[in-house]
Chain A
Amino acid sequence: MNDFLQIPMLQVLPFGKDIGWALLLIPLLPLAGFLLLGLFGRKHIKNSSGIIGTSLLLVSTVLSLYTAYGYFFEYGKVNGVYQKLIPLQYTWLQFSPGLSIDMGIILDPISVMMLVVVSFISLMVHIYSLAYMKGEDRFPTYYAFLGLFTFSMLGLVMASNIFQMYIFWELVGISSFLLIGYYYDRPSAVAACKKAFIVTRFADLGFLIGILILSFYAGTLDFNTLIQRLTSSSAPEFQTAVASSFLGVSALTWALVLVFIGGAGKSAMFPLHVWLPDAMEGPTPVSALIHAATMVVAGVFLVARLFPVFSMSPPALQVVSYVGVISALFAAVIACTQTDIKRVLAYSTISQIGFMMFSLGVSGSGGENGLGFTASMFHLFTHAMFKALLFLGAGAVIHFIHSNEMKDMGGLRKYLPITHITFLIACLAISGVPPFAGFFSKEEILLAAYHHNAIIYWIALITSGLTAFYMFRLYFSIFWNKEAPSPLERAGGEVHGEGGFAMMMPLVLLAVGAAVAGFIPFGNFVSSDGKLLESAFHLQFSIAPVALGLAGIFAAMWLYKKQNNKPDAIAASLNGFYKAAYHKFYMDELYLFITKKILFNLIGRPAAWFDKNVVDGMVNMTGNTTQAISEKIKGFQSGKVQQYAIYFLAGVIGLAVLFIYIWK
C-alpha cells in the first residue's frame, strides 16, 4: 500500500503528522454514514439514524475547521504566498508514464474554504432535518442520501485531479437526483428529478469533452501540472493548444468553454437553468444544502479551480462573464413575479450565482487584477450562509403553514419570531445592506466589474436593486401583509410552534454567519495568486448600490407591507412583460418546443422509423424466411414409417448414382 502512496508534504507539515489521513476522514465519514444508514437504516436503526448521520458529520466538520485553521494560520503560507499542498496522492489508473488518473487531496485556499462551507452548511442542514423530517417514513434513507451528497461534494472540492473531480461531479449529480426525487410518490417530484438529471448530464457532456481536449493538449489530468503547462506562454503544450484552432477559435478556448458548459449546467446558468426551479420539489433542507449553498456553486468552483487557465483565454472569460450577468438579470426579473416562495429563492440563487460567475469573468490573474476572483469566492462564502438561512427559514414557514404559496401567508411575524428575525437578517444580507455579509462581497464584485467592463457593471447594479426588491417582496408577503392570518384554523386546530431547538439553532447560527461573515478580510486568505490582496473599501463607490438596494426595499415595503391592490395594478400595467416574466420567459415551453417539436420530429421519428423498418425488418425477415421454408418442408415428417423408408431409399439411390456416375 505504501508503495503507491506518495506523501511528499508529510515532513514539512508541522501541524499534526497525520494530516493526510485526517483529511481523508473528512469525506469518508459521511460515506460511512451513507453505507451504514443505507444498508441497515430502515430495519435496525430507524430512529437513531438522524443522530448517527449528524454526529458523523459533526466530526467531519470539526476536522474541516481544524484543517482550515491549520492551513490558513499554521502551515499553508510560505513566504507570504498560500501554497497548493497535496498531502495525499494515490495513482489509480496509469495510462502511460506521463498520464494517469490519480486520487488525491489538494489543499489550497479555495478548497479549504469550500471544505468549511460544505461541511458547516451540511451540518446545519443535518441538525435542522432532525426536526423537519421527523416522522417521515424514509427518514434513514434521507440521511443516507445526505451523507452520500456530503461525501461527494467534499470529494469534489478536494479533488487534485480533473478526472477525479469529474467522478465526484457526477456523484453530486446523482445525489441531487435522489434527493429531489425523495418524495417519489409525487409525479411532479419525479418529473423534476429527471429533468435536473437530464439537463445537468447534458451539460456534463460538455465538461467531459472539455476535459479530454485539455488533457490532450496538456498531456496530464493533474490540476497542478495542467495549470502549470497551460499558463506559461513558453510551454510547448500551451503553444500547441493556442495554435491549433477549430472554426477560428483556439483549442484552449474551446476546451474552456466546454468545461464552462458543464459548470453552467451544474450552476444553473442561463440557458441551462431550467432544472433548478423545479428542483424545489425536494425537501426544503435539501434545497438549502444542495440547490442553494453547495452543489450549485460547483460550477463557480470549477471555473475558479481552473482560473489560471481561464485567464489565459480572454474569449472564454468573456463567455463566462456574459453568461453570468445575463443569468443574474434574467433570474432576478423572474424572481419578482413568482408566488411560490421556494421558487423565488431558486431564481434568487441563479441570480446570485450569476454574480459569482461574471465576477470571475471580469477578473484578471494576480495582484490587484484578481479582485474579481476574491470577490467571487467571497460572495460564494457569504451567499452560502444567507441563502441556506433563507431556505431553512422558508422551510420553517412551510412547516408551519403547510403551503409554498405566498398568498397563504402573511402576518407570520407573531407566530414565528425567531424565523422572522433570522429571515430579515438574511434578506438584508442578500440585498447588500451594510453591515451584513452580502454587502461586502457584492461591493467587491461590483467594484471588480466597474474596473473592467461598464456594461456588466450597470447590469449588475440594476440586478442588485432588483434583488433587494424581490427579497423584501418575499419578506413582507410572508411576515407582514395580511393582518389576520388563519393558519391555526386551517390546520384543523393543530398548532405547533416554530419547530423547536433543532430547527432554530441552525437558523440562529447561520444568521450570525450572515451578519458577521462580511467582516472577514477575505482577500487575506483567498486570492487568484495566493498572495495577500488588500481589499480597499471605497465609501463613495458604495453609495449607488446601497441606495438602489434601499430603494428596492422601500418599493417592496410600499407595495407589500399592507395588503392592497397596488401590486396587481402594477402587474396589470406591465401586462405583457409581467406575464412573460411570470411564465419564466417561456423557457420551459421553448425547451419543450425544441425537444418535442424539433428533436422528436426531425431526429426521433426518423430514427424510430429506421429502427422499426430497417433494423427490425432485417430481424423479422430472417424469422419470416425460416418460418416460410419450414412451413413448406414440414410435411416430410409425416409419421408414416414407410414414407421415411422411401426417402431413405431415394437417398441411397441418389448417393449411389452420385458416387458411381458423377464422382467416378
Chain B
Amino acid sequence: MMEPGLYHLLFISAALFFIGVYGFFTRRNLITMLMSVELVLNSVNLNFIAFNKYLWPNKLDGLFFSIFVIAIAAAEAAVAIAIIINLYRSHHSIDVENAEEMKF
C-alpha cells in the first residue's frame, strides 16, 4: 500500500475547503453556515500541517500556525454563536434569509 504523500493531503484539504464553501453558500441555517466555516478553517489547518511535514520537517512553524487558527476559530465560534443567539431573540429564527434588513 502506498504511503500517503503531500498530494493526498492537499487533495483532502482542497475537498474540505470547497465542501465548506459550498455549505456556506447553500445552507440557510446559521449554525450550519458556522459549521461550514469551521470546515474551511480546518482545511487550511490541514494545509499548514502537510506543508510543514513534507517541506520543512525540522521546523514547527506550520504547527504553531494551525494552533493559532484553532484558537481563533474557537473565539470566532463564540462570537458567532452569540450573534446567532441575539438574532434568534429578535427574529425568533436563525434562518439567514430572515435577517435581510441591513441593506440599501
Q: Residues on A close to B: CB < 8 A?
A: 634-635, 637-642, 645-646, 649
Residue of A nearest to B100 (CB): A639
Interchain CB contact under 8 A, B103 and A638: yes
- Smallest CB–CB gap between A460 and chain B, Å? 83
- Smallest CB–CB gap between B79 and chain A, Å? 15
What's the Cα separation between A645 and B21 when bound, in Å? Answer: 9
Show 12 A/B contacts (Cβ-Cβ < 8 Å), sorted by A.
Answer: A634-B104, A635-B104, A637-B103, A637-B104, A639-B99, A640-B96, A640-B97, A640-B103, A641-B96, A642-B24, A642-B96, A646-B25
Interchain CB contact under 8 A, B24 and A645: yes
Cβ of B102 within 8 Å of any chain A Cβ, yes or no, is yes
* Complex interface residues of chain B between 77 and 104 (CB less than 8 A to chain A): 96-97, 99-104
Interchain CB contact under 8 A, B101 and A639: yes
- Smallest CB–CB gap between B100 and chain A, Å? 4
What's the Cα separation between A649 and B21 when bound, in Å? Answer: 9
Interchain CB contact under 8 A, B24 and A640: no
- Smallest CB–CB gap between A115 and chain B, Å? 75
Interchain CB contact under 8 A, A639 and B103: yes
Instruction: Give the interface SS of chain A, mostly helix, strand, loop or mixed.
Output: helix
What's the Cα separation between A637 and B103 when bound, in Å? Answer: 5
Interchain CB contact under 8 A, A639 and B102: yes
What's the Cα separation between A288 and B21 when bound, in Å? Answer: 94
- Smallest CB–CB gap between A624 and chain B, Å? 19
Residue of A nearest to B37 (CB): A645
- Smallest CB–CB gap between B28 and chain A, Å? 9
What's the Cα separation between A642 and B103 when bound, in Å? Answer: 13
Residue of B nearest to A635 (CB): B104
Interchain CB contact under 8 A, A642 and B104: no
Residue of A nearest to B27 (CB): A642
Contact of A642 among B25, B101, B102 (CB under 8 A): B25
Interchain CB contact under 8 A, B100 and A640: yes
Interchain CB contact under 8 A, B25 and A645: yes
- Smallest CB–CB gap between A660 and chain B, Å? 16
Task: Specify which chain B residues have a CB less than 8 angstroms from the CB of A634 in the assembled complex.
Answer: 104
- Smallest CB–CB gap between B27 and chain A, Å? 9
What's the Cα separation between A190 and B86 when bound, in Å? Answer: 67
What's the Cα separation between A646 and B21 when bound, in Å? Answer: 9
- Smallest CB–CB gap between A266 and chain B, Å? 63
Residue of B nearest to A630 (CB): B104
What's the Cα separation between A634 and B103 when bound, in Å? Answer: 9
Task: Specify which chain A residues have a CB less than 8 angstroms from the CB of B104 in the assembled complex.
Answer: 634-635, 637-638
Task: Specify which chain A residues have a CB less than 8 angstroms from the CB of B101 in the assembled complex.
Answer: 639
- Smallest CB–CB gap between A653 and chain B, Å? 11
Residue of A nearest to B101 (CB): A639
Task: Specify which chain A residues have a CB less than 8 angstroms from the CB of B100 in the assembled complex.
Answer: 638-640
What's the Cα separation between A637 and B100 when bound, in Å? Answer: 10
Task: Specify which chain A residues have a CB less than 8 angstroms from the CB of B102 in the assembled complex.
Answer: 639
- Smallest CB–CB gap between B90 and chain A, Å? 15
Task: Specify which chain B residues have a CB less than 8 angstroms from the CB of A637 in the assembled complex.
Answer: 103-104
Of A634, A640, A646, A649, the most chain B CB neighbours within 10 A belong to: A640
Residue of B nearest to A646 (CB): B25
* Complex interface residues of chain B between 1 and 51 (CB less than 8 A to chain A): 21, 24-25, 33
